[in-house]
Amino acid sequence: MEDILRPIYQERASWPSTMGVLLIEKNPNDTSSTDSFDYILLTIVNEAEEAVSIKHYLYKDQKAALHIVHQSQLEEWIMLGSNRKIFEWIFNGKIVFDRNEYIERLKKELHEFPFYGRKVKMGVEFAKLIRRYLDGKSFFENGHFLDAYNHIVHSLHHLARLEIIDQGFYPEVTVWNQVRHIRPEIFKLYEELVTSQESLEKRLELLFLASEFLIHSRTPLGSQHIVDILKGKDGSWSISELTQHPDLKYYSVDLEVLLEYLVEKNIINVEKVETKGHGIFHRYYRVTNDY
């Protein structure tokens, strides 16, 4: 099949915008990694009209998919972890074209996992964790236990990913298998939530209590990135300045929830700035003096 696909990826390799091409073959024991296709051709480009373009091919009884991905989209996936399969494709794919060793350098960078990249990813995961935890707690307090269950499962997942990243690893698709060895106490919480014979309400009550302690203990770690940014200039920040900061764009809709959480924990102070309206103030943010 690789010989059949060669003209397809050779054509893409001839484009000046193509940085590299990877060939990924289906793993018989894990067909989900290639979405049940026999082969994936991952083509990374630095110029494209669309962030992602996909084509499907058929040869006899075998299926192949060509994914043309803009470099900026790839970087976003890597930063946010929003496309888990991309890590497996990069790590396990066969390099069939590599302009100026772009893919080799990318693989090395992913293996080494630079500290700054870890700090950003931990901040993003922590923000998602806070969002899920607070939404889940609200559902629980209003008696919506199934919705609360859904959110607490997701919050534990983000907590697990936070711990894995802190240890210098990229979270894999099988994140619970990873965290079982890295932070068994978090795995135990997840296991108790999904396997306990207690009532759902009782399980959730215990999980929220345990999660609150774990989140509190991980707050300095999870907030380090945004705290460093806030300390990066004299004076306070408006919400507009924060949302437009290039390193905070990955937080997306979770940024405001994280800010409010850090205000509540006295890590960030709110400063009032007068507006033209009587008695109405702008809210500005800065790190507390003793933090």
Mean pLDDT for each 10-residue chunk of the chain (291 residues)?
83 92 88 86 94 93 94 88 85 93 91 75 94 96 96 94 88 82 90 90 92 92 95 92 91 94 95 85 90 72
Distance CA 140, CA 265 (A): 22
Query: Apex CA 108: angle with CA 107 and CA 113, to 5°?
Result: 100
260 and 242 Cβ atoms separated by less than 8 Å? no
Distance CA 161, CA 285 (A): 28
| Beta strand segments in the chain, E | 18-25, 39-45, 52-59, 62-70, 94-98, 237-238, 268-274, 281-287
Two tokens, residue 195: 């396997």
CA atoms within 13 A on the CB side of 29: 0
One-letter amino acid for residue 146 of the chain: L
Walk across the sheet containing 52-59 and list its strands: 52-59, 62-70, 39-45, 18-25, 94-98
Domains and CATH numbers, the chain: 2-112 (3.30.460.10), 124-220 (1.20.120.330), 223-291 (1.10.10.10)
Q: How many CB atoms lie within 10 A of CB 126?
A: 29
For residues 42, 45, 51 and 54, what is the CA-based torsion angle, rounded to 10 degrees?
Answer: -30
Two tokens, residue 153: 């499962």
Q: How many CB atoms lie within 10 A of CB 67?
A: 18
The whole-number pLDDT of residue 287 equals 95
Residue 107: CB partners within 8 Å, gap ≥ 6? 90, 91
Two tokens, residue 57: 């091919």
45 and 17 Cβ atoms separated by less than 8 Å? yes
Q: Residue 32, class by beta-carbon neighbours within 10 Å (0-12 exposed, 13-18 middle, 19+ buried)?
A: exposed
N-terminal to C-terminal alpha carbon distance within the chain: 59
56 and 63 Cβ atoms separated by less than 8 Å? yes
Two tokens, residue 79: 């930063």
123 and 225 Cβ atoms separated by less than 8 Å? yes
Could you tell me how far CA 218 lies from the centroid of its own chain?
17
Provide the whole-model pTM: 0.80
